Amino acid sequence: MKTQVAIIGGGPSGLLLSQLLHTRGISSVVLERKTKDYVLGRIRAGVLERGLVSLMEEAGCADRMHAEGFIHDGTLLSYGDELFRVDFAEHTGATVMVYGQTEVTRDLYAAREASGGQIEFEVENVVIHDTKTDTPFVTYDVAGDARRIDCDFIAGCDGFHGVSRKTLPEDVRQEYEKVYPFGWLGVLSETPPVNDELIYANSPRGFALCSMRNANLSRYYIQCPTSDRPEDWSDDAFWAELKRRIPADQAAKLVTGPSIEKSIAPLRSFVTEPMQWGRLFLCGDAAHIVPPTGAKGLNTAASDVHYLYNALLEYYETGSEAGVNGYSAKALKRVWKAERFSWWFSSLMHRYPDQTEFDYKIQVAELEFLRSNRAAQQAMAENYVGLPY
C-alpha cells in the first residue's frame, strides 16, 4: 500500500490531521491499535481553545460542535468561600468552546468515513522504518496478516505509550518530566452543572474542579492521593468532599446523583525533544503531556497538528522543505509555553504534601493578586483561550 502520509494513532489528533490533509487533496492512512468503539469510549476533557475550534472549521467538522457546544467567555476561581471571575472575552476578545473530546473524535470519524478515508483498526506490531531517508515505510499486522505502507512522511499521533517516540534513538531523545504527588478523582454524572461556567477551587482540603459536558451532564474532580483507587470512594463520599472544597453558596445548589463513570488520573508534565526524526513527526501525547489543569492536552496536540499540516501543505504545494525541517523547533516553542501555564495553574490551585502554611498563604496572595490585577487576569486569559499559533 502507498500513501503520502502514514498516520499512527486514530485519536483526535491523528484524525484531525488526516481530515485536514484530505481537504487539500493529500492522501493519508490512519493506523489505530484499538477498535473504534474503544477510542470513542475514552472519557477526556472538553474545553477547546479558539485555535482548535478554527481547525475543526477548516476541516469541515464544526457543524455539530457549534450546534451543541457551549461557548464560555470566562471562568471562576475560588479560594475558601471567596469566588471571582476572569473574563476571557473582555481581556482577549476570544472565548473557549465546551464540547467533549469524545464528540470531537466522533465528528472526525464521521468526516473521514464520509470521504472514504482509510482507517485500519486493531493493528499490531507496528514498526517504523527508514525515517532518515526519502522513502520511509511502516510495517504492521492486522489479524495476523502482515502489511506495509510506503509513504513520504509519518505522523506519530499514538500517545505516550505508542511506538513513534520510541523510534527516535535514545542518544537523540531528551526527555523532561515532572510527576505531581497527587491525582484527580473524576466523576461523570447525569446532573445539571452547578454553574454555567467552570469553577477551579483552591481549598485547604485540596483542589476541586466543577465542569460540564452539556446541560444535564456534569464532570467533577477532586484532588486525591495517588494511592487512592476509584472504588475507595463511594458516590456519597465524593459529593461530600466536593462540597467541602467549593464555596458554600455553590455547594448549596450542587445537584448530586449516581456516578456513571469514576476514574483517577495521575498528573505529570512531560516533554520529549526533538519532536521529529527525519520524516517522522511526533504529535500530541507522543511528544508531551500536561496536567489537566487548564485543559491543554488536546489543545496542545491540535497546535502540533496545525504546524505539521501547514508544513506538509507547503511541501506538497511548493516543494519547499523549510516547514517540515523546522517543525520540531516551531512546535516546541508553543509546547513549552503550554507546559508553563499548566504547571503554574496546577501549582496555584493544588495542595502539596510538603506544603507549609507559608506556602498556602503565598497561594492565597497570588489568587488575590489575580483577582485584583487586570494585567494578571489578561495573562491568564490569553493562555487559557490559547496562545496564537
- Catalytic member of 22, 91, 296, 350: 296
Residues 42 and 20 sit within 8 Å (Cβ to Cβ): no
> Is 384 annotated as catalytic?
yes
Rounded to a whole number, what is the distance in angstroms from the first to the last CA of the chain?
Answer: 34
- Catalytic member of 79, 109, 180, 200: 200
Residues 108 and 30 sit within 8 Å (Cβ to Cβ): no
- Catalytic member of 79, 140, 315, 384: 384
The kind and range of the H/E element at 289 are strand 288-289
| Amino acid letter, 15 | L
Alpha carbon distances (Å) from 125 to 71, 122, 135: 42, 10, 20
Contacts of 107 (CB under 8 A, 6+ apart): 56, 61, 62, 64, 65
> Is 292 annotated as catalytic?
yes
Quick one: which of 114, 116, 174, 164 has its CA closest to 138?
164
Alpha helices in the chain (DSSP H): 12-23, 36-40, 50-58, 63-68, 88-92, 101-114, 163-167, 235-245, 248-252, 297-318, 322-325, 327-349, 357-372, 374-385
Q: Is cis: bond before 274, omega within 30 of 0? A: yes
> Is 38 annotated as catalytic?
no
> Is 79 annotated as catalytic?
no
Residues 169 and 255 sit within 8 Å (Cβ to Cβ): no
- Catalytic member of 292, 306, 307, 315: 292
Paired strand residues for 29 = 6, 118
Is 160 exposed, middle or buried (CB count within 10 Å of its CB: 0-12, 13-18, 19+)?
A: middle
Taking the C-alpha atoms of residue 203 and residue 229, their distance in angstroms, rounded to an integer, is 22
Q: Is 159 left (phi over 0), alpha (psi -120 to 50) or beta?
A: left
Q: Is 144 left (phi over 0), alpha (psi -120 to 50) or beta?
A: left
> Is 22 annotated as catalytic?
no
| Amino acid letter, 371 | R
- Catalytic member of 12, 22, 72, 315: 72
**Residues carrying an active site annotation:** 72, 200, 292, 296, 384
